[in-house]
């Protein structure tokens, strides 16, 4: 615990969690300055994560024992490849979505005392929760951070204050609480069985299996894997665009990230090939069902929300590919890369949809003719991010799908390979379906208002980011694989 490097890592870890918390508290006091504080805070957090990534590349996984109190009563945070990768993508998306929100939420801020002023503290609490969740190193802290993330997300989802949005948020809250409670009961069972909260292997006993079932089901519900996805489309489609972007790009991934940690670290001894195929089957169904619903969607934001339902399916393919006979390392890298690629692309798509909604005053797909000629920048961003969602080169989505497909073929899982390819076809179909309307030529302008330049710029930058992610895939992949869990891949520690 001595040496200048370790101290520096401690500082970065602490800053990544504490600075959004501090910013949130400051915003509650200095309401007038919320937006400025928010952008400033985003930069500070991003800097902390960048410092942490630097430490990680130099020294490998880092940890911080908060206040010097050892677990189980104290809190220990650890920063390995996945955690820093997730925190990094959160920082990047958070910064741009925040800048976007300063323009998007203006009219909301004028109406009663909510809108923008509530957005910022809630988003900062959410950000603190997300960073703490990525870094958490024991079961109970994961529970607390899950709850922080869930409550803050619900607050954000209700921000639009329409009946539909509040109803969807309430529903989201209850689902989220249901999931967390199941998770907490699982924690209690694990503690009963092992007497520890660490993410180490659980012995094969009925209590362990019950914990596995409860925690997994709770997290599946929070991640909205088919058929437990019913709450997601209304909540994501009715929230303001920057909130939709945050929810779809980041929050859904947070609970999946917990699931990933649990299945690969805590429950690894309990999971045989047959069990690992259960999420795989649901994943295939999710890809199919979500894509079909996206094809049938009438509103643009609904289409994008269903696209999230479909894309969440791809994430769960990691379990059959990584735990059912295949080798862990490729599947693990593939799914983390998929998270990053999807987060960037989906955030860009939601922001572009927000621009459409603002400029047209509605988002009914059939009435969006002329969008391409009147919002060329936003539509270009939508198209570039769409390329990543479909999985065409050289986007991040392509690399992610390529890695997943390679893992599937290496493990000899032809069915999953078919699902991957078919899912790409369906995604092409729903993205093209939107563009077939948007490309329609409309002689006169149908926009109801102009857009601030930063709204289009943020969408474009995130979309280009999803492209750049694919171009610079190798170093990012190397970072994500630092500190790979040892199950199934003995000695596969990560060097940059």
Which residues ranging from 270 to 309 are in contact with other proteins (CB under 8 A)?
A: 270-275, 278, 292-293, 296, 302
Residue 315 near residue 248 (C-beta atoms within 8 A): no
CA dihedral over 187, 189, 195, 201, signed as positive or negative: negative
Q: How far is residue 167's CA from residue 182's CA, in Å, rounded to a whole number?
A: 23
Q: Which is nearer to other proteins, 216 or 481 (CB)?
A: 216
Contact residue for other proteins among 14, 57, 217, 442 (CB under 8 A): 217
Q: Which is nearer to other proteins, 59 or 409 (CB)?
A: 409
Binding region for other proteins (CB under 8 A) out of 34-42, 242-250, 469-477, 480-488 = 469-477
Q: How far is residue 475's CA from residue 479's CA, in Å, rounded to a whole number?
A: 6
Binding region for other proteins (CB under 8 A) out of 12-20, 129-137, 177-185, 351-359 = 177-185
Size of the site for other proteins (CB under 8 A): 92
Q: How far is residue 211's CA from residue 206's CA, in Å, rounded to a whole number?
A: 9
Phi and psi, residue 76, nearest 5°: -115, 130
Residues in 46-85 that interact with other proteins by CB under 8 A: 72-73
Q: Which is nearer to other proteins, 36 or 471 (CB)?
A: 471
Contact residue for other proteins among 133, 220, 245, 372 (CB under 8 A): 220
13: CB partners within 8 A, 6+ apart: 52, 62, 63, 64, 77, 79, 135
Q: Which is nearer to other proteins, 45 or 92 (CB)?
A: 92
Binding region for other proteins (CB under 8 A) out of 28-36, 88-96, 244-252, 400-408 = 400-408
470: CB partners within 8 A, 6+ apart: 341, 388, 393, 394, 395, 396, 397, 398, 399
Q: How far is residue 157's CA from residue 243's CA, in Å, rounded to a whole number?
A: 7
Residue 156 near residue 243 (C-beta atoms within 8 A): yes
Q: Which is nearer to other proteins, 59 or 170 (CB)?
A: 170
Residues in 376-395 that interact with other proteins by CB under 8 A: 391-394
243 binds other proteins (CB under 8 A): no
Binding region for other proteins (CB under 8 A) out of 1-9, 80-88, 220-228, 455-463 = 220-228
Contact residue for other proteins among 116, 147, 363, 456 (CB under 8 A): 147
Q: How far is residue 298's CA from residue 305's CA, in Å, rounded to a whole number?
A: 12
Torsion angle of the four alpha carbons 108, 111, 116, 121, in this order, in degrees rounded to the nearest 10: -140
Kindly report the number of other CB atoms within 10 A of residue 90's CB atom.
28
228 binds other proteins (CB under 8 A): yes
Contact residue for other proteins among 227, 325, 415, 496 (CB under 8 A): 227
Residues in 184-213 that interact with other proteins by CB under 8 A: 184-185, 187-188, 191-192, 195, 197, 204, 206, 209-210, 212-213
Radius of gyration, alpha carbons of the chain: 21
Q: Which is nearer to other proteins, 35 or 261 (CB)?
A: 261
Residues in 81-140 that interact with other proteins by CB under 8 A: 140
Binding region for other proteins (CB under 8 A) out of 41-49, 62-70, 89-97, 173-181 = 173-181
The vertex-53 CA angle with 50 and 56, nearest 5°, equals 155
Residue 175 near residue 252 (C-beta atoms within 8 A): no
- Which of 243, 207, 248, 211 is CA-nearest to residue 229? 248
Query: C-beta of 8: minimal distance to other proteins in Å?
Result: 25
Query: C-beta of 33: minimal distance to other proteins in Å?
Result: 25
Residue with structure tokens 């490729």? 330
Q: Which is nearer to other proteins, 128 or 173 (CB)?
A: 173
28 binds other proteins (CB under 8 A): no
Q: Which is nearer to other proteins, 361 or 412 (CB)?
A: 412
Six-digit token string for 120: 């910022």
Q: Which is nearer to other proteins, 40 or 181 (CB)?
A: 181
- Which of 333, 422, 435, 452 is CA-nearest to residue 384? 435
């Amino acid at each position: 615990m001595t040496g200048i490097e370790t101290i520096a890592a401690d500082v970065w870890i602490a800053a990544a969690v504490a600075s959004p918390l501090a910013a949130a508290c400051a915003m509650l006091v200095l309401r007038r300055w919320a937006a400025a504080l928010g952008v400033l805070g985003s930069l500070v957090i991003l800097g902390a994560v960048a410092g942490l990534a630097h430490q990680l590349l130099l020294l490998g996984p880092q940890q911080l024992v908060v206040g010097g109190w050892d677990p189980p009563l104290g809190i220990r945070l650890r920063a390995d490849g996945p955690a820093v990768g997730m925190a990094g993508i959160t920082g990047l998306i958070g910064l741009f979505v925040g800048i976007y929100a300063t323009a998007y939420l203006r009219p909301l801020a004028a109406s009663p005392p909510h809108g923008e002023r509530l957005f910022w503290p809630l988003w900062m609490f959410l950000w603190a929760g997300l960073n703490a969740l990525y870094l958490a190193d024991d079961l109970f802290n994961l529970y607390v951070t899950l709850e922080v993330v869930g409550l803050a997300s619900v607050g954000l989802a209700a921000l639009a204050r329409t009946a539909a949005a509040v109803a969807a948020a309430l529903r989201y809250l209850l689902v989220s609480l249901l999931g967390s409670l199941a998770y907490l009961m699982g924690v209690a069972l694990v503690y009963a069985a092992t007497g520890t909260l660490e993410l180490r292997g659980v012995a094969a006993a009925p209590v362990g299996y019950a914990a596995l079932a409860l925690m997994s089901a709770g997290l599946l519900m929070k991640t909205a894997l088919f058929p437990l996805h019913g709450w997601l489309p209304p909540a994501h489609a009715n929230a303001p665009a920057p909130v939709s972007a945050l929810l779809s790009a980041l929050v859904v991934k947070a609970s999946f990230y917990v699931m990933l940690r649990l299945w690969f670290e805590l429950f690894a001894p309990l999971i045989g090939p047959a069990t690992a195929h259960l999420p795989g089957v649901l994943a295939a169904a999710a890809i199919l069902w979500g894509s079909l619903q996206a094809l049938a969607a009438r509103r643009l934001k609904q289409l994008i929300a269903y696209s999230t339902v479909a894309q969440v399916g791809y994430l769960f393919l990691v379990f059959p590919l990584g735990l059912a006979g295949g080798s862990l390392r490729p599947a693990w890298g593939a799914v983390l890369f998929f998270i990053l690629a999807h987060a960037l692309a989906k955030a860009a798509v939601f922001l572009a949809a927000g621009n459409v909604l603002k400029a047209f005053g509605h988002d009914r797909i059939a009435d969006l003719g002329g969008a391409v000629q009147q919002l060329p920048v936003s539509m270009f961003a939508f198209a570039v991010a769409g390329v990543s969602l479909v999985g065409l080169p050289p986007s991040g989505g392509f690399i992610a799908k390529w890695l997943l497909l390679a893992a599937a073929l290496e493990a000899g899982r032809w069915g999953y390979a078919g699902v991957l390819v078919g899912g790409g076809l369906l995604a092409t179909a729903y993205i093209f379906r939107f563009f077939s309307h948007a490309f329609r030529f409309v002689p006169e302008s149908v926009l109801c208002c102009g857009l601030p330049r930063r709204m289009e710029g943020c969408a474009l930058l995130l979309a280009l980011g999803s492209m750049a992610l694919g171009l610079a895939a190798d170093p990012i992949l190397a970072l994500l694989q630092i500190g790979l869990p040892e199950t199934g891949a003995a000695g596969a520690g990560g060097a940059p």
